[in-house]
Copies of this chain bind each other. A is one copy, B any other.
Amino acid sequence: MTKQDLIKSLARSTPSRIILLVIDGLGGLPHPQTGKTELESADIPNLDALVKSGVCGLSLPVGVGITPGSAPGHTALFGYDPLTVSIGRGVLEAVGIDFPVKRGDVLARGNFCTVDKKGNITDRRAGRIPTELNASLCPLLEMTIDDVKILTAPVREHRFVIAFRGKGLSPQVTESDPQLEGMPPNPVKALSPGASKMARIANQFAEKAAAILKDKKPANMVLMRGFSQTPHLPSMKEIYQLKAAAIATYPMYRGLARLVGMDVLPAGITIEEEVAALKKNYKKHDFFFIHYKKTDAAGEDGDFDRKVKALEEIDRLIPDIMSLKPDVVVVTGDHSTPAFMKAHSWHPVPTILYSKYCRCDDVSEFSERACLKGGLGIFPATDIMPLAMANALKLNKYGA
């Protein structure tokens, strides 16, 4: 029995409410000058107070030493084994723009790119063309090849989604994007016997796209990667008996939430608007995933001070959230993004669990070092939902 099956067999619906606040890229590393991490440098009295009345620890999104992408980072937080649930880049881009995916669609992430007269790539991103240009080019690429309908949708700058809709399509194909410049796009090849049709259609699409875009330099060619289909996941309703809602300003996170069956609430663009959405919908759901993006963006940019400020911004919203008197609050991240590394990292993520029934530890500040001494220890992120459910008294006793 998997951990998820066990939880499913014990879950029960009750009136208690759970809030899962995901501070993207939460964990960090010490600043080389001060020796203090972003969390240790930030003035976060409300998170510190939450730690004092909660229990804390460090969560491992995928495993020791493994740096997670956003998808495995979040599926783990929602209680799905990130090593068995695989969400391809094509799917992620599509759900991230609310693209109306149908079961069986093969989705790919497209890039508009620039090629020279010989067909060699000179810019994999076509000079990051404006989104408006992208949006005007995408409709030109919609077509039907044999019985396969090809739909497209702009994402941002040079990025777009390609959906292949038809019978007998498989995502088991190689990418056309060589991830290098100075060479032509690769032909798409089947990786399994059942994928030859997909490979053929993708190559014909690339050929036709080249003809259509011939005079559209810098966006005179397309690259494809991350061919994938939506995974068939049991919903959070099925597993946890929860009426779950997602509040996220970035489409990708709304898309991930939709894949696990959450209702996606209108959330605006600021964290204040997100908290307002929480308040407005608080009676209608019993689980809320709130996503805060700025910490990760600052970390990725290597901007230590901006990450500190983002932490202080989210800290100021904590009293507002707590004023709703939720039964369980979890504050964590989908992975660490140390400004020092300018990238996602493998380091475990500081986590607070607050409830009336959590067993408090002695930790009195929210930081990587302090959480190491917390009552949750270093633990897999897939334990967060079982812990939240238990603390919400939403799990029956196991065994007689």
Assess the B369–A66 pair: CB atoms within 8 A: no
- How far, in angstroms, from A89 to B397 measured CA to CA in the complex? 13
Interface SS of A by simple majority: loop
Q: Tell me, yes or no, whether A361 is within 8 Å of chain B by CB.
A: yes
Residues of B within 8 A of A386 (CB): 63-66
- How far, in angstroms, from A84 to B87 measured CA to CA in the complex? 30
> Which B-chain residue is minimally distant from A37 (CB atoms)?
B359
Residues of B within 8 A of A30 (CB): 359-360
Assess the A67–B397 pair: CB atoms within 8 A: yes
Q: Tell me, yes or no, whether A266 is within 8 Å of chain B by CB.
A: no
- How far, in angstroms, from A346 to B68 measured CA to CA in the complex? 29
Residues of B within 8 A of A345 (CB): 357
- How far, in angstroms, from A383 to B103 measured CA to CA in the complex? 38
Contact with B along A333-347 (1 / 0, CB 8 A): 000001011011111
Task: Tell me how far the C-beta of A30 lies from the nearest C-beta in chain B, rounded to whole angstroms.
Answer: 7
Task: Tell me how far the C-beta of A59 lies from the nearest C-beta in chain B, rounded to whole angstroms.
Answer: 11
Assess the A341–B362 pair: CB atoms within 8 A: no
Which of these, B62, B362, B399, contacts A68 with CB under 8 Å? B399
Assess the A398–B65 pair: CB atoms within 8 A: no
Assess the B69–A399 pair: CB atoms within 8 A: yes
Query: Given that A359-B29, A368-B359, A378-B377 are contacting pairs, would A66 and B400 also be in contact in the complex, using a CB cutoff of 8 Å?
Result: no
**Interfacial residues of chain A within 208-260, with CB under 8 A of chain B in the complex:** 226
> Which B-chain residue is minimally distant from A226 (CB atoms)?
B400
Assess the A72–B398 pair: CB atoms within 8 A: yes
Which of these, B343, B368, B379, B400, contacts A92 with CB under 8 Å? B400
17 contacting pairs across A/B (C-beta < 8 A): A3-B63, A6-B63, A6-B66, A29-B357, A63-B386, A65-B386, A65-B387, A65-B389, A65-B390, A67-B398, A69-B398, A70-B399, A70-B400, A73-B399, A86-B399, A344-B397, A373-B373
Closest 5 CB pairs of A and B: A65-B386, A65-B390, A72-B399, A69-B399, A89-B400
